[in-house]
């Protein structure tokens, strides 16, 4: 589904990703872990097409394309507030643009309301949030739940969760994880970007990759996350620096 091949990217002259190679297949959950500054979030942003980052080398191929309209969804680490645009209007616009891109007719506000009702329950949110401005005045937990809610409505083929667990208490973490698990299917894939192992107690990954200095320095199964929890990142970071020096 997603093929990343020797991806180099950065902002301005600063290179952040220094050769990432990763392949994700339908039905899989991949966890990307690593210390602060390792390039985890940059990888998520680049995959979602943030124009602030420049890809300098390598390639990303996603079923041949790389647009949100083709089913990539990024759950933001810091969801953006958009005063003046209601959640309902925002999400319906997004939903309809995706339908249009796939040659389907737009749906009207009432049909849309029916559609989202059940998805709201999934993340334990009230219908009143639909008429509020996008993320404006939302608590940290509400913002993250809103991300998962949007993901549930837009039902992407590939979801990237960027530090979705940061700043969540244990109850909110459970709700978010439950949402993600409900959306798992053999046709979809998920990339979970996280610093800590705790989200992975709820969203069980098939693969764990450790990023350091813009490279994947180790890959393994779900047990790798537990090992990191115990030993920290230092032993792998040194490996990353070593590999960088050797290159």
Partner 1 sequence: MSDIATRKGSRDNAILGKDGANQVNTRGPNPINTYRADFKRQLGVPEWVQTLRAQGMARFEALGFPTTKNEDWHFTSVAPIAERTFHAAMTSRAGISSEGSTAGVVARADLRRFTFGQPAWHTLVFVNGEFSEDLSSYAGLSDKVRVSSLAKAIRSGTGRPERHLGKIATFENHAFTALNTAFIQDGAFLELQADAVVEEPIHLLFVSEGEGEAISHPRNLIVAAQNSRASIIESYICIRDNCYFTNAVTEISLGEGARIDHYKIQRESEKSYHVGTTQIRQARDSQLHSFSFAVGGSLARTNIYTSLDGDAATCTLNGLYLTDGKQHIDNQTSIEHIAPNCPSHELYKGVLDGQSHGVFNGKVYVHPEAQKTDGKQSNNNLLLSPTARVDTKPQLEIFADDVKCTHGATVGRLDEMAMFYLNSRGIGRETARTLLTYAFAADVLETIELEAMKTELERMVLARFASTAAA
Q: Does 48 bind partner 1 (CB under 8 A)?
A: yes
- The encoded tokens of residue 4 equal 């990343």
Q: Which positions from 116 through 155 interact with partner 1, judged by CB under 8 A? A: 133, 150, 154
Cα–Cα nearest to 173, from 193, 200, 195, 151: 200
Should residue 185 be labelled a site residue for partner 1 when binding is judged by CB under 8 A? no
Helix (H) / strand (E) element for 96: namely: helix 87-101
82 and 90 Cβ atoms separated by less than 8 Å:
yes
Burial environment of residue 132 by CB neighbours within 10 A (0 to 12, 13 to 18, 19 or more): middle
Residues 6+ away with beta carbon under 8 Å from 131 = 86, 87, 88
Candidate residues 52, 103, 114, 128; the one interacting with partner 1 per rule CB under 8 A: 52
> Could you tell me the smallest distance in angstroms from the CB atom of residue 229 to partner 1?
30
Q: How far is the CB of 93 from partner 1 (least distance, A)?
A: 6
The alpha carbon dihedral of 99, 106, 44, 145 has a sign of negative
Q: How far is the CB of 157 from partner 1 (least distance, A)?
A: 12
In order of 37, 59, 87, 162, the CA distances from 216 in angstroms are: 13, 16, 37, 17
Q: Which of 64, 84, 103, 186 binds partner 1 (CB under 8 A)?
A: 84
Q: Which of residues 91-120 bind partner 1 (CB under 8 A)?
A: 91, 93-94, 97-98, 101
Q: Helix, strand or coil for residue 60? A: strand
79 binding partner 1? (CB under 8 A):
yes
Q: Per CB under 8 A, does 82 bind partner 1? A: yes
Using CB under 8 A as the binding rule, whether residue 49 contacts partner 1 is answered as: yes
Would you say 51 or 245 has its CB closer to partner 1? Answer: 51
In the list 12, 13, 14, 83, the residue contacting partner 1 (rule: CB under 8 A) is 83
The pattern of x and - marking residues 59 through 78 that bind partner 1 according to CB under 8 A reads --------xxx---xx-x--
Alpha-carbon distance 47 to 67, whole Å?
9
DSSP element (H, E) containing 200: none
CB of 242 to partner 1, least distance (A): 35
CB closer to partner 1 out of 192 and 217: 192
Q: Verify binding: residue 90, partner 1, rule CB under 8 A.
A: yes
Pairing of strands 72-75, 215-220: unpaired
50 binds partner 1 (CB under 8 A): yes
Binding site for partner 1 (CB under 8 A): 48-52, 67-69, 73-74, 76, 79-80, 82-85, 90-91, 93-94, 97-98, 101, 133, 150, 154
């Amino acid at each position: 589904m997603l093929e990343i091949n020797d991806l180099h990217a950065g902002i301005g002259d600063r290179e952040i990703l220094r050769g990432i190679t990763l392949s994700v297949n339908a039905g899989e959950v991949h966890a990307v872990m690593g210390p602060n500054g390792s390039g985890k979030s940059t990888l998520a942003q680049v995959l979602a097409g943030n124009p602030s980052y420049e890809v300098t080398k390598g390639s990303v191929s996603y079923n041949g394309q790389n647009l949100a309209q083709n089913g990539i969804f990024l759950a933001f680490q810091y969801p953006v507030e958009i005063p003046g645009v209601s959640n309902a209007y925002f999400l319906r616009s997004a939903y309809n643009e995706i339908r249009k891109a796939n040659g389907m007719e737009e749906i009207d506000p009432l049909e849309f309301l029916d559609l989202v009702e059940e998805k709201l329950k999934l993340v334990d949110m009230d219908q009143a949030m639909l008429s509020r401005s996008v993320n404006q005045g939302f608590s940290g937990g509400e913002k993250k739940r809103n991300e998962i809610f949007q993901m549930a409505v837009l039902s992407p083929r590939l979801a990237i969760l960027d530090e979705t667990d940061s700043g969540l208490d244990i109850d909110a973490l459970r709700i978010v994880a439950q949402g993600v698990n409900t959306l798992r299917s053999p046709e979809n894939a998920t990339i979970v970007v996280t610093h800590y192992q705790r989200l992975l107690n709820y969203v069980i990954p098939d693969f764990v990759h450790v990023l350091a200095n813009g490279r994947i320095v180790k890959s393994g199964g779900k047990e790798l996350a537990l090992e990191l929890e115990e030993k920290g990142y230092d032993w792998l970071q040194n490996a990353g620096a070593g590999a960088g020096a050797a290159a």
